[in-house]
Amino acid sequence: MKVIYFAKEEWEKEYVKQRLPGVEFVQDSDADAEVLSVFVNHPVDAAQMDKYPKLKLIATRSTGVDHIDVQEAKKRNISVASVPGYGANTVAEFAFTLILALSRKVCDAHKQVTETGSFSQKGLTGFDLAGKTIGVVGCGKIGQHTSRIAKGFGMQVLVSDAFKNDALAKEIGFTYAELPELLGASDVISLHVPYMKETHHLINLSNIGQIKKGAYLINTARGAVVETSALVKALEDGILAGAGLDVLEEEGDMQDEMHLLSGPHPKEEELKVVLENHYLIDHPRVIITPHIAFDTREAIERILDTTVENIMSFMSGPKQ
């Protein structure tokens, strides 16, 4: 079976090769490829599928599949395999990395020491997490782990989720709340929902006014879960005191601004989002990281191991 592997780093490709004996890894120009292994930064649409008429499996190395035209794949009888649950602790830990960096002004303090040499504590007073309320939006495996960490800090935990599990709430010690109630009561809001039609712009211009004044927003999910213009407005109006963002709406265009700006027919809304993202990057109370919440050696190895299992299982066919 011929596999095209779009590697984030070369060691990953070698790691997978060693665990798939008998599989031929080919270049992305090989039309005989039967398997594509991709990450979230490599969209697979109908045009991409057209390049590989023998394609049978798209093995994405991610939990989400919003970068794949799943309906088109289904029409062509192409299977799609993903990696659920590889980084529950990994992403949750990073969410708290952003929370702590904001609550204790870590970036400000580091910048002050390295750029000015000043060890003054003026302006660096933070706030405790103990006793504060965190709103966890989405209580899958990552949301559950985030809730457990929050309880360890002595926080009150509110959870908004489409599916309620009272036994889980009792075990972890959180309380369910509808989204408007959660927004109004939380000192920190952490997003852990998958990206789909129902979660597109979940935080938007219509509901940002419901957010507790002075709260902090953390997004380690997907950029488009938050309407960028709403986030900008919330910061400008003082509704949000700050934000920790590992993802941005239209972050692909942020990497290729010149193409968007100089193209013959730039899309007005996409251009607007790019400019708004620049506001966020320059904002003193916003921390932005380049989509690295998942990126630990342990989590990547779990991703790769599951990807290997997905490909091997597909190769062996359905069990009788």
Domain 88-288 grouped into CATH 1.10.10.10:
no
Residue 158 scores a pLDDT above 80? yes
- The mean-pLDDT minimum among 87-101, 235-249, 250-264, 290-304 falls in 250-264
CATH of 2-86+297-316, one of 3.40.50.2000, 3.40.50.720, 1.10.30.50, 3.30.210.10: 3.40.50.720
d(CA 173, CA 158): 9
- Asked if the model's pLDDT at residue 219 lies above 90, the reply is yes
pLDDT tens sequence across 241-266: 999 999 988 765 445 443 433 444 44
Predicted confidence at residue 187, as pLDDT, reads: 98
pTM given for the model: 0.85
Which range has the worst mean pLDDT, 39-48, 181-190, 260-269?
260-269
Confidence (pLDDT) at 267: 54
What proportion of the chain, given as a percentage, has pLDDT over 90? 73
Three-state secondary structure call for residue 210? helix
Are 63 and 84 in contact by the 8 Å Cβ rule? The answer is yes
Residue among 192, 193, 151, 201 nearest 171 (CA):
151
Give me 177's structure tokens: 């709340």
Range of weakest confidence among 20-29, 117-126, 171-180, 189-198: 20-29
Angle between helices 106-116 and 88-103 (to 10 degrees): 60
pLDDT in tens, 66-89: 899 999 999 999 999 999 878 899
Q: What is the DSSP letter of 224?
A: G
Active-site residue numbers? 222, 251, 291
Helix runs in 153-210, H state only: 166-172, 179-185
What are the backbone dihedrals phi and psi of residue 197, each rounded to the nearest 5 degrees, phi first?
-55, -40
**pLDDT number for residue 272:** 65
Instruction: Give pLDDT, residue 319.
Output: 46
Contact 226, 203 (CB under 8 A): yes
> Where do the structural domains in the chain lie, given as residue ranges?
2-86+297-316, 88-288
In the DSSP assignment, the letter for residue 240 is E
- Cβ neighbours for 168, distance < 8 A, ≥ 6 positions apart: 139, 144
> For all residues of the chain together, what is the average pLDDT?
90
User: What is the pLDDT at residue 257?
Assistant: 40
Q: Tokens for 195?
A: 């990206």
186 pLDDT above the threshold of 60: yes
Q: What residues are paired with 216 via a beta bridge?
A: 188, 242
What is the distance between the alpha carbons of residues 169 and 134, in angstroms, rounded to a whole number?
14
Task: Say if residues 218 and 99 touch (Cβ distance below 8 Å).
Answer: yes
Q: Would you place residue 63 in the very low, low, confident or very high pLDDT band (cuts 50, 70, 90)? A: confident
